[in-house]
Amino acid sequence: MTTPAYYVTTSGNSTALPVGVTWDDATWILTNSFIIFTMQTGFGMLEAGAVSLKNEVNIMVKNAVDVIYGGLSYWTFGYAFSFGEDSGSNPFIGIGYFFVDSSDPNELGILFATFVFQLSFATTATTIASGMMAERTKLFSYSLFSFFNTLVYCVPAHWVWGSNGFLSELGVIDIAGSGAVHLLGAVSGLVATILLKPRIGRYDNIDDEPPIGNGTNSILGMFILWWGWLSFNCGSTFGISGGKWKLAAKAAATTLIAAMGGGFAGCTYSQIRTKGKLQIGDLVNSVLGALVGITAGCAIVKPWEALIIGIIAGMLTLGTIILLDKMKIDDPVGGFGVHGVGGVWGMLAVGLFAENDTLENMTKGQSGLFRGGGFRLLGVQLLACVCIAAWSALSTLAILLPLKYTLGIRLSKDHERLGSDYVEHGIDHHQPTGMMFIGNRVASEPAVYARRGSRVSNADSKKGSDWNIRRSNKIAEANKNIKNDDEDYISTIGDENMTKVPIDHPSAVVSSPRQRSAAKELAKRLSIKEPEPSISSIFGSDAELIPGGVDNKT
């Protein structure tokens, strides 16, 4: 096995570090690796906030799967394909360091530090795709996808960051992965969501997207990701010795400023569009899109340029999300807008704004178009985007198509309505799912509730309320055509279709034990042809059918 040049150490000293790497650098690399790992928590909370309650646990489990299955495959062969330099390594793929280990004490530290750092990048790329596949994907099939999806990441990583990668030889600049991580993960997710098709009822005569599931989780997830992004970008200087700490500090400043710019653009746009109401999705996605946009050039642009990059990234992100909805491409978390379009813009922004780095030669002697460097760097950056996107799309298809036609990748309609938390994990949330159908009496639908003394809790969101009102109207129309005389079953409604479930099934739970008991009593009455009870006779005289969420006062 050959030893990469940057692993060369002083001879005879088993505790020496590679040339150019100090103890401070080693500490910096490991610390940032650990912080980047916490981004999985941020992605989990962000995605859980964007889905319905019945799928919250499942989407976070998929983040764990990304680390477990994806991490194992990256240790097995992913790192080797990315950074291996044995005989057989070429500009397309690396060879060497399979089952990452070393018996050479001189390379031990830097090898494992690099592996841990890059492992966090690899799992992030897969996690981006998982959010876009939310609420309709079989967990077992997804686990296999996560394992093999490492192949999707590690080859472009070699192109961009490998010592002999062909894009690296051309002079591509992607400091922390706008293209190699974010664009790649987003294209993979886009292919997956097109294969999966939209969630049941997502575009069924409803123009607007459903309201965000849990805004608190989404915002907390955004902040955790923001925190991790600072390490994502600053850690990519791979040290703080010499002039590296100056670049790391600059990367921190530009990362924050770009996110502020994107958030400002997103907030302004949202409040104009909704006449003063700030949509949580617009806020979160514009900030994250700006973070993706600054990632490629975080250490080589000026602060005011970072602000411009962030503002443009935020607006491109929100525009893309709207466009995909118009095309009926169901991306539950807005992942392609954030990571795909944001990643492309980040790569191209380097070709426009990059300032030649004289501290650590991160720009390889190049400058962007606006710095007098001409079109060459911009062309290389564009070529990198095309190559990464094409590889991601083709390799994702190569993984998912066999799964689709063997094990299947999408949940059945019944399982999708019941929710992945119950189907995949047996979790009974005992949360309100609204009114129930027993026979043809009462509807079960997350957007409709009958509660004593309840009120609309999302009345401050016209968009959310309007969406729920339309859902409620669909249910009312469906009620007219439902006929079900089974005494031991109730039906949960999902757009035009009905799913029979036992009364004791968690999907049939209204909320409280009293309501469950009342439902059973109603079924019993129906079986002996007693007069049909009204909603008020079951839930109280002040119960009413309302759109939207509830703030239960009882």
Average pLDDT over the chain, rounded to an integer? 80
What gap in Å lies between CA 350 and CA 494, rounded to an integer? 47
Structure confidence at residue 521 (pLDDT) = 59
Q: Which superfamily does 25-202+212-366+376-404 belong to?
A: Ammonium transporter AmtB like domains (1.10.3430.10)
The yes-or-no verdict on residue 440 having pLDDT over 50 is no
More confident residue, 20 or 453: 20
Model pLDDT for residues 357-410, shown as the tens digit of each residue:
877 888 888 999 999 999 999 999 999 999 999 999 999 999 999 999 999 999
The yes-or-no verdict on residue 181 having pLDDT over 60 is yes
Average pLDDT over residues 227-245: 92
More confident residue, 473 or 504: 473
Average pLDDT over residues 485-491: 38
123: confidence class by pLDDT, cuts 50, 70, 90:
very high
The yes-or-no verdict on residue 59 having pLDDT over 80 is yes
Structure confidence at residue 23 (pLDDT) = 78
- Contact call for residues 385 and 179 (beta carbons, < 8 A): yes
Average pLDDT over residues 60-89: 94
Structure confidence at residue 513 (pLDDT) = 53
| 431-436 LR contacts (CB < 8 Å, sep 24+) | 431/53, 431/509, 431/511, 432/510, 432/511, 432/550, 433/492, 433/507, 433/508, 433/509, 433/510, 434/510, 435/510, 435/535, 435/545, 436/490, 436/492, 436/508, 436/510, 436/519
Model pLDDT for residues 423-439, shown as the tens digit of each residue:
999 988 754 444 343 33
The yes-or-no verdict on residue 538 having pLDDT over 50 is no
What gap in Å lies between CA 147 and CA 70, rounded to an integer? 5
Structure confidence at residue 205 (pLDDT) = 65
Average pLDDT over residues 523-549: 46
Tokens of 61: 């489990």
The yes-or-no verdict on residue 472 having pLDDT over 70 is no
Q: How large a percentage of the chain has pLDDT more than 70? A: 72
Each domain of the chain, given as residue ranges in start order, spans: 25-202+212-366+376-404, 431-547
The yes-or-no verdict on residue 33 having pLDDT over 70 is yes
Torsion angle of C-alpha atoms 297, 298, 299, 304, degrees rounded to 10: 100
CA 133 to chain centre: 9
Q: CA distances (Å), 5 to each of 1, 162, 265, in order?
A: 13, 12, 44
Average pLDDT over residues 344-368: 92
206: confidence class by pLDDT, cuts 50, 70, 90:
low
Please compute, for residue 518, the number of CA atoms within 13 A of its CA located in the half-sphere on the CB side.
21
Q: Angle 182-184-190 (CA atoms, 0-180°, nearest 5)?
A: 100
The yes-or-no verdict on residue 336 having pLDDT over 90 is yes
Average pLDDT over residues 37-41: 93
36: confidence class by pLDDT, cuts 50, 70, 90:
very high
The yes-or-no verdict on residue 482 having pLDDT over 80 is no
More confident residue, 201 or 507: 201
185: confidence class by pLDDT, cuts 50, 70, 90:
very high
What gap in Å lies between CA 422 and CA 409, rounded to an integer? 17
CB atoms within 10 A of CB 468: 24
Structure confidence at residue 473 (pLDDT) = 52
Give me Rg for the CA atoms of the chain: 26
Q: Which of 261-265, 382-386, 450-454, 462-466 has the lowest mean pLDDT?
A: 450-454
- Contact call for residues 552 and 453 (beta carbons, < 8 A): yes
Q: What is the pTM of this model?
A: 0.77
